[in-house]
Amino acid sequence: MEISPSKARNLTRSEFLDSVLRLAPRVAAFDCDGTLWSGDAGETFFDWEIRTRLVSAEVGLAMRARYAEYKAGKVSEDDMCGEMVTMHRGMREATLIEAATEFMNHIFPSRSFPEMQELVHRLHDNGCEVWAVSSSNEWVIRAGMQPFAIPEQRILATKVQIEGGLVTDRLARIPSGPGKSQALREVANKAIDAAFGNSRWDVDMLALASHGFAVNPNPDLEATARDRGWTIYFPDDTSPR
Q: What is the pLDDT of residues 25-63, one digit of tens each?
A: 999 999 999 999 999 999 999 999 999 999 999 999 999
Sign of the CA dihedral running 130, 133, 137, 138: positive
Please state the φ and ψ torsions of residue 164, each to the nearest 5 degrees. 60, 30
Instruction: Return the pLDDT at 110.
Output: 76
Number of helices (H), then strands (E), belonging to the chain: the values are 10, 7
- Single pTM value for the model: 0.92
Residue 1: pLDDT over 60: no
Lowest mean pLDDT among 24-28, 106-110, 136-140, 165-169: 106-110
Instruction: Return the pLDDT at 236.
Output: 81
230 neighbors 212 (Cβ within 8 angstroms):
yes
Percent helix, strand and coil across the chain, each to the nearest 5: 50, 20, 30
Helix, coil or strand: residue 240: coil
Residue 71: pLDDT over 60: yes
Instruction: Return the pLDDT at 111.
Output: 86
Other CB atoms within a 10 A radius of the CB of residue 200 amount to 16
66 neighbors 83 (Cβ within 8 angstroms):
yes
60 neighbors 240 (Cβ within 8 angstroms):
no
* Structural domains for the chain: 7-233 (3.40.50.1000)
Which of 93, 121, 108 lies closest to 43, judged by CA?
A: 108
88 neighbors 55 (Cβ within 8 angstroms):
yes
| Gap between the Cα atoms of 38 and 25, Å rounded | 24
